[in-house]
């Protein structure tokens, strides 16, 4: 029975898996970019530092579910944007994650010895190139465990987008459960697929970290 259910609905699981992977990767990429900008504003832009702090506290103090509802229902009303469940899903995940990543970036950058920056500037590098080629590569090496943890949180939290009808892996698993009435088998297989995603992401991050470490060793 279980094999028949899984085999007959393999397309459903595959499509849900692809949506979960897509929404997680977009959220991670956006969160990385926004988090880095917020981090740099907090550290180097004194007039706007309070805005960065306010953003970080908002992202870290409100539950992801509340942020998801807020982005999905409030943003379209406030800004007149067309409602998109998929966009609301990755935007909410990126919103919360960017607040944590901003603090992760800050701790990593501050962990690089001040002499590294001074030495780079003394060779004629601009502040931007110093940050790009000297500070950030070393900071990323120190931040890898924290970054990996945050990426995994995004992947696991992505199942919440099912509550706004994003057809991700969890949404399709719940739909199949309501059709076949086999929650143990279907949800156990779904959990296995999430484990596979997390394992693949962890392996990719470790590979990149090892490559970066060998490059800058």
What's 81's domain CATH number?
1.10.3720.10
Tell me the C-alpha distance between 145 and 151, whole Å.
Answer: 10
Tell me the C-alpha distance between 90 and 102, whole Å.
Answer: 18
- Largest CA-CA distance found in the chain, in angstroms, rounded: 70
- What residue numbers bound the domain in which 36 lies? 2-216
**Structural domain total, the chain:** 1
Low-confidence ranges of the chain (pLDDT < 50): none
Q: What is the pLDDT of residue 2?
A: 61
Given CA atoms 196, 213, 148, 91 in this order, what sign does their dihedral have?
negative
Given CA atoms 91, 97, 99, 105 in this order, what sign does their dihedral have?
negative
pTM score of the predicted model = 0.89
Q: What is the pLDDT of residues 89-99, one digit of tens each?
A: 999 999 999 99
DSSP single-letter state for residue 166: -
Question: What H or E segment, with its residue span, contains residue 15?
Answer: helix 10-44
Tell me the C-alpha distance between 138 and 109, whole Å.
Answer: 8
Q: What is the pLDDT of residue 140?
A: 83
Q: What is the pLDDT of residue 1?
A: 60
């Amino acid at each position: 029975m279980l094999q028949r259910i899984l085999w007959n609905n393999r397309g459903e699981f595959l499509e849900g898996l692809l949506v979960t992977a897509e929404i997680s990767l977009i959220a991670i990429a956006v969160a990385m970019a926004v988090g880095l900008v917020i981090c740099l504003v907090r550290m180097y832009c004194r007039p706007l530092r309070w805005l960065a702090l306010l953003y970080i506290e908002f992202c870290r103090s409100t539950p992801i579910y509340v942020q998801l509802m807020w982005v999905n229902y409030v943003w379209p009303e406030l800004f007149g944007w067309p409602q998109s469940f998929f966009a609301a899903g990755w935007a909410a995940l990126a919103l919360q994650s960017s607040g944590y990543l901003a603090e992760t970036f800050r701790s990593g950058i501050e962990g690089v010895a001040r002499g590294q920056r001074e030495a780079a500037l003394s060779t004629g590098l601009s502040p931007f190139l110093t940050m790009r080629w000297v500070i950030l590569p070393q900071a990323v090496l120190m931040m890898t465990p924290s970054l990996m943890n945050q990426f995994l949180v995004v992947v696991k939290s992505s199942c919440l987008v099912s509550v706004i009808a994003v057809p991700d892996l969890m949404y399709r698993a719940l739909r199949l459960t309501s059709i076949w009435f086999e929650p143990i088998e279907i949800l156990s297989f779904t959990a296995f697929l999430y484990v596979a995603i997390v394992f693949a992401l962890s392996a990719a991050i470790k590979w990149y970290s090892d490559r970066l470490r060998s490059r800058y060793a």
